[in-house]
Structure formats: structure tokens, C-alpha cells
Amino acid sequence: MIREHFEFRQTITTILADDRGHIEAAKSGMLAARQEVERQIAVDPYFSATFEPYTPKNPANVPASMARAAAEAGVGPMAAVAGAIARAGVEAMVEAGAAFGLVDNGGDIALVSDREVTIGIYAGGSPLSGRFAFRVPPQEEILGICTSSAMVGPSISFGTADAVTVFAPDVAAADAWATAICNRIAADDTSVLDGLPGTSIRGVLAVIGDAVVRWGDLPPIVRAKVDERLITVGRSPV
């Protein structure tokens, strides 16, 4: 398996693949997605500024998918940007013939896989951080595994959770919902999970200090020693 670190402006990723050509396909896919987002921001700066749902006029495919996902989650479109770009990378890998491909865009992961994959749970200062991992079964279709944290990383958060990880087939939706849930969930108030759309989200894991909250269908969680050197740390999006 090939592991490659790839950066372009604010996009900081780790790409996993079996073939060098699939790595290059992922880069091309992500760059094309970034260009769509940058063009949207250039003609409509409010798209990148708002923290509220927003429907842009005549958006290209990637900004449109971000806006749809964010509207469902009740957040601004940029809450879905990392997931949307990661998804574009894996979509390009699949188009190039990949049966296995993973893009980790600063903790927002898109993957397709013909094998079991272990993904570590990093939750900042929580005593549970780095001690457990998801054991994700093979995925014939692209899956989003996106994490938001009020304690780690550059993205704006209004919450207190050490980490909220969302599993969803739509990677942009996983990203947007991770932000939305992280903004509102607390160890003594998990009401935000009551209204989640089970049709579009598979599962949620929230780590808040030494408390763990689970919702929906999650892959098995196993004990692990997470190598923090492998964590992809992003910058503020686009």
C-alpha cells in the first residue's frame, strides 16, 4: 500500500492507494473540486462566510453538494468542504479503476475498500484518545468518516466535544453533520441526536472527556494504539 502526504494551499491530506496512478488521480480530483469551490467563493463571498444554511445561485457540482449537505445539518456550506474535496479525490480514484482508495483531509475521510480498514480515534485531550479504533469492513461504495472537534484543529466550533465522528455514504453530509453535532452535543445533553436523519447518516460516535456517546450503526470499536504521527492535521478550509 502506498501512503502519500499531499498539500495544496489549505488542503492537507493523506492519500492511501495500491497504485501510483490512483494517487495521482486523487490529487487531480481534489484539485478540480477545489477549483469549483474557489470559483464559487470568488463570485459569491457569502458562500464561505455564513455559518447558516445557504443556497447559492447556479453553483457547480461540488459547491451544490456542500450547500445541500449543510442545509440538512443546519450549518454553513463550508462545514462540508473538507468532506466534499475528499470525496472528489476518491471518486477520481474509483474512475481510475481503484478497488481501494482513501483520502484523509484533515480528519475528514472518504474511502472505498476491498478490505478491512482500521481507523484510529483521536480525541485531543480526552483520556480515551488514541486508545481505540474503528474496524471498518470492506466498502464497495464510497463511505464518509468525518470528525469534528471543539478542541483540536483550526476549524471553527461552538461546542465542547473532544471529537464527534459521523459515518455516512455522502461524505459532505458526514462532514456537515459532524460539525453540527459537535456544536451542540454535551455529556449531559445529547438531544441533538434525537432528530438525526437515519436515512442519510449511519452512525455517530462522540467523545466528551471520559464520556462516550453512540448513535446508530457503527463498525466494531477495538482497542488500539494510535500513532499520532499518522494524523493529518488541516488548516482553515479554502
Cβ distance 216 to 203 under 8 Å?
A: yes
Mean pLDDT value across residues 5-32:
95
Which CATH number fits the domain that encloses residue 118?
A: 3.10.520.10
In a domain, 236, yes or no: no
Does a structural domain hold residue 238?
no
The 3-state DSSP class for residue 167 equals strand
Whether the pLDDT of residue 226 is over 80: the answer is no
Reported pTM:
0.90
pLDDT of 64 reads 97
pLDDT in tens, 41-100: 999 999 999 999 999 988 999 999 999 999 999 999 999 999 999 999 999 999 999 999
Cβ-based neighbours of 212, under 8 Å, separated by 6 or more: 128, 205, 206
Distances (CA, A) of 187 to 24, 50, 159, 161: 42, 28, 11, 8
The range of the structural domain enclosing residue 88 comes to 2-230
**Amino acid occupying residue 206:** A
Q: Which three cell numbers stand for residue 55?
A: 443556497
> Which residues make Cβ contacts (< 8 Å) with residue 142, sequence separation at least 6?
87, 90, 91, 94, 110, 111, 112, 169, 171
Tell me what percent of the residues of the chain surpass a pLDDT of 90.
70
Does residue 108 lie in a domain region? yes
Answer yes or no: is 6 within a domain: yes
Per-residue pLDDT tens digits for 140-194: 999 999 999 875 555 555 567 888 999 999 999 999 999 999 999 988 899 999 9
Domain count within the chain: 1
Strand residues in 183-228 grouped as ranges (E):
203-208, 211-216, 221-223
Cell of 103: 483520502
DSSP structural state of residue 59: -
Query: Is 57 a domain residue?
Result: yes
Question: Grid coordinates 452512525 are at which residue?
Answer: 203
Quick check: is 168 in a domain? Answer: yes
Segment 105-152, tens digit of pLDDT: 999 999 999 999 999 887 766 757 667 889 999 999 999 999 998 755
